[in-house]
């Protein structure tokens, strides 16, 4: 028995339930000794509310802004078994924000497991009692109300349709009907302590709603929902969806104990209207990318601002800083004379996989976007001034090539409010820059053929242009352009010419089909000439020319316009 197990066993020998909690579970066959114990569920909720709710949200609903996944449904990444939950709580998850809770007694961990189980079981039984996937009310009428007369979509989105002030309701169907109904008719009340509801699973129920109010130096009043807050800073989203990053040392923040939601729905809407709204929201089980891709995403940085990026030196809106690829900042505050006086202002753990960081963060209007490396892929939005996280996007590779040798993610690109990132398994993905939610994804290359995407794309006009790796393997390099709004491919340029194309005669036989020529590093753009410039990598095999011949092997080791 290792020392840690000995310590746990010794410490538990002193408690009255020592025989029941003799040691930490060692296999998935271990079951919760407090399963179905209602007292344990209530005790577990008290621990959850004080320990876990900050990251995982009320009643295990999840909180994308803090990186905590939902816990109120099966399919947890690190296992659904009792022992899996126990182990995750006790040991934490390396490389994530989930710390080990070694200060909790085993009995308390099992109480937490019992509470999480109650959330999952209540959601499942609630759905079963109504019939799987059969919501009450008229779903079509509820949808018309949500996006019409009721005005819900002014603050809430479903599948990227609507506002971003309030929570995304694309998976509102995980909530019990009673909780949804109460939130509609009594938005200023905390949700009741009903297992599976947004407000909790016994005990105290959900936290009361709040609205943050700020008076700026120029006399403006900002009122909005709290996205994030600590002692020194606050992130507020106003009714228009605008994010405000507040320094509380300079701008005081007051709290109103009320929701931004209208509190007169019970008068404005009929009982049937409310039932139909509940039915529509209950029908929303998960975010649907086939629907998000069709939605317009307003606001954000325009193409014209990207063209004139050098006029905004406080921003760094693309990998190279500007389309010319100068990688140079015109800011003058830091000089050779004062650089020795620089001190750390903040630090933030960029969580990701098992690789080193090679990202160049981009900065747009006070928000920094950066990537982690390896698997899972991560994109994090930060308050550039304070280092506070705004949201984090995480994605596991769908396929992992066992011979993957360049597990890097060098950053993102942005156009409007769409953020673009490539992945190691060869996908190009659009993310809502306001919320960190996926909008569309398209497969660019097959990673099992030796290719991946490691550098950020280049965005221009209404297109996203991305390269690919693979010069070490038998690939044929290419450069792709995709529609920024839909992800539909506009064109593909192969870096190695096919028969009948200029340059194919510089390749021996059919070696052009596997001749390399990757496009992994982000290119540059001349708006006046409407030309993209892209560096093409080495031919393959790189050092042995027998297969490809003693010729120029166009267009490898070149810059192409």
pLDDT band, residue 353 (cuts 50/70/90): low
Asked whether residue 347 is assigned to any structural domain, the reply reads no
Q: Are residues 63 and 40 in the same domain?
A: yes
Mean pLDDT, the chain, integer: 86
Q: Clarify whether residues 381 and 487 are in a common domain.
A: yes
Query: Which of 65-79, 217-231, 483-497: highest mean pLDDT?
Result: 483-497
Question: Is 64 within the bounds of a domain?
Answer: yes
Same domain, residue pair 155 and 281: yes
Residue 64 pLDDT: 58
Domain-embedded: residue 172: yes
Residues 92 and 170 reside in one and the same domain: no
Q: Has residue 446 got a pLDDT over 50?
A: yes
> What's the average model confidence in pLDDT over 162-189?
90
Q: Is residue 195 very low, low, confident or very high in pLDDT (cuts 50, 70, 90)?
A: very low
Same domain, 377 and 502: yes
Provide the number of structural domains found in the chain: 3
| CB proximity list for 220: less than 8 A, separation 6 or greater | none
pLDDT band at residue 410, thresholds of 50, 70 and 90?
very high
Is residue 49, in this structure, part of any structural domain at all? yes
Q: Label residue 48 left, alpha or beta by phi (over 0 means left) and psi (-120 to 50 means alpha).
A: alpha
Within-domain flag for 261 = yes
Q: Rounded distance, CA 545 to CA 506, Å?
A: 12
Q: What is the pLDDT of residue 142?
A: 96
In a domain, 344, yes or no: no
Has residue 221 got a pLDDT over 50? yes
Q: Residue 11: which pLDDT band, with cuts at 50, 70 and 90?
A: very low
Edge-to-edge strand ranges of the sheet holding 233-238: 243-247, 233-238, 221-229, 211-215, 253-256
Per-residue model confidence (pLDDT) at position 27: 40
Residue with the two structure tokens 């809407």: 269
- At residue 22, the pLDDT reads 38
pLDDT for 337 equals: 96
Residue 26's pLDDT band, with cuts at 50, 70 and 90, is very low
- 146 and 269 both lie in a single domain: yes
Domain shared by 46 and 168, yes or no: no
In a domain, 343, yes or no: no
Are 109 and 228 in a shared domain? no
Across the range 277-284, mean pLDDT stands at: 95
Q: What b-and-e string marks burial along 244-257, b requiring 16 or more CB atoms within 10 Å of the CB?
A: bbbeeeeeebeeee
Choose one of 83, 112, 130: the last residue of a domain. Answer: 130
Q: Which of 36-50, 123-137, 488-502 has the lowest mean pLDDT?
A: 123-137
Single residue among 104, 130, 156 that ends a domain in this structure: 130
Q: What is the CATH number of the domain that holds 40?
A: 1.10.760.10
**Are residue 514 and residue 552 in the same domain, yes or no?**
yes
Nearest residue to 414 (alpha-carbon basis) of 456, 469, 366, 468: 456
Task: Decide which of 25 and 103 is more confident.
Answer: 103
388-409 burial: b if 16+ Cβ within 10 Å, else e:
bbbbbbbbebeeebeebeebbb
Range of the domain at 278: 139-292
Confirm whether 90 is domain-assigned: yes
- Picking from 130, 149, 176, the residue at the C-terminal end of a domain is 130
**123 and 156 both lie in a single domain:** no
Identify the band that residue 124 occupies on the pLDDT scale cut at 50, 70 and 90: very low
Residues 378 and 499 in one domain: yes
CB-CB contact of 231 with 249 (8 Å): no
Q: Do 553 and 419 lie in a common domain?
A: yes
CATH number, domain with residue 538: 2.140.10.10
């Amino acid at each position: 028995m290792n020392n840690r197990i000995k310590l746990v066993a010794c410490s538990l020998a002193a408690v009255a339930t020592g025989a029941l909690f003799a040691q930490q579970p060692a296999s998935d066959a271990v079951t919760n000794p407090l399963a179905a114990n209602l007292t344990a569920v209530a005790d577990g909720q008290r621990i959850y509310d004080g320990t876990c709710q900050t990251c995982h949200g009320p009643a295990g609903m999840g909180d994308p802004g803090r990186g905590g996944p939902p816990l109120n449904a099966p399919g947890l990444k690190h296992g659904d078994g009792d022992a899996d939950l126990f182990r995750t709580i006790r040991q934490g998850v390396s490389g994530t924000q989930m710390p080990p809770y070694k200060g909790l007694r085993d009995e308390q961990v099992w109480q937490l497991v019992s509470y999480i189980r109650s959330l999952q079981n209540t959601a499942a039984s609630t759905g079963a009692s109504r019939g799987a996937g059969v919501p009450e009310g008229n779903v079509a009428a509820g949808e018309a109300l949500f996006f019409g007369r009721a005005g819900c979509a002014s603050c809430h989105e479903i599948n990227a349709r609507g506002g971003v002030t309030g929570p995304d309701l694309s998976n509102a169907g995980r909530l019990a009907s009673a909780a949804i109904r109460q939130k509609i008719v009594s938005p200023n009340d905390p949700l009741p302590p009903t297992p599976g509801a947004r407000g909790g699973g016994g005990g105290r129920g959900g936290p009361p709603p709040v609205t943050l109010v700020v008076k700026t130096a120029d006399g403006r009043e900002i009122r909005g929902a709290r996205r994030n807050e600590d002692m020194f800073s606050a992130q507020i989203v106003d009714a228009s969806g605008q994010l405000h990053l507040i320094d509380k040392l300079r701008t005081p923040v007051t709290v109103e104990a009320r929701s931004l939601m209208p509190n007169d729905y019970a008068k404005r809407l009929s009982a049937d209207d409310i039932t139909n709204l509940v039915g529509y929201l209950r029908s929303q089980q998960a975010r649907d990318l086939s629907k998000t891709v069709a939605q317009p995403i307003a606001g954000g940085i325009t193409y014209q601002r990207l063209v004139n990026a050098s006029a905004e030196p406080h921003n760094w809106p693309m990998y190279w800083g500007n389309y010319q690829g100068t990688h140079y900042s015109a800011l003058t505050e830091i000089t050779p004379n004062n650089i020795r006086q620089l001190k750390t202002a903040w630090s933030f753990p960029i969580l990701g996989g098992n690789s080193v960081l090679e990202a160049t963060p981009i900065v747009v209007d006070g928000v920094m976007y950066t990537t982690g490396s390896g698997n899972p892929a991560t994109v994090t939005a930060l308050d550039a001034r304070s280092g506070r996280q705004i949201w984090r996007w995480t994605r596991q590779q769908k396929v992992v090539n066992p011979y993957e040798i360049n597990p890097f993610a060098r950053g993102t690109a942005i156009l409007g409010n769409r953020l673009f990132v490539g992945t190691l398994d060869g996908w190009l993905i659009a993310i809502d820059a306001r919320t960190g939610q996926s909008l569309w994804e398209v497969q660019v290359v097959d990673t099992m053929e030796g290719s991946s995407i490691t550098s950020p794309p280049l965005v221009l006009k209404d297109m996203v242009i991305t390269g690919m790796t693979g010069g070490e393997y038998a690939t044929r390099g290419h450069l792709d352009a995709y529609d920024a709004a839909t992800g539909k491919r506009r064109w593909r340029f192969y870096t190695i010419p096919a028969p009948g194309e200029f340059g194919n005669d510089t390749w021996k036989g059919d070696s052009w089909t596997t001749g390399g020529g990757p496009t992994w590093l982000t290119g540059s753009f001349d708006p006046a000439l409407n030309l993209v410039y892209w560096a093409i990598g080495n031919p393959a095999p790189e050092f042995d020319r027998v297969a490809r011949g003693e010729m120029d092997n166009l267009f490898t080791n070149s810059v192409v316009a």
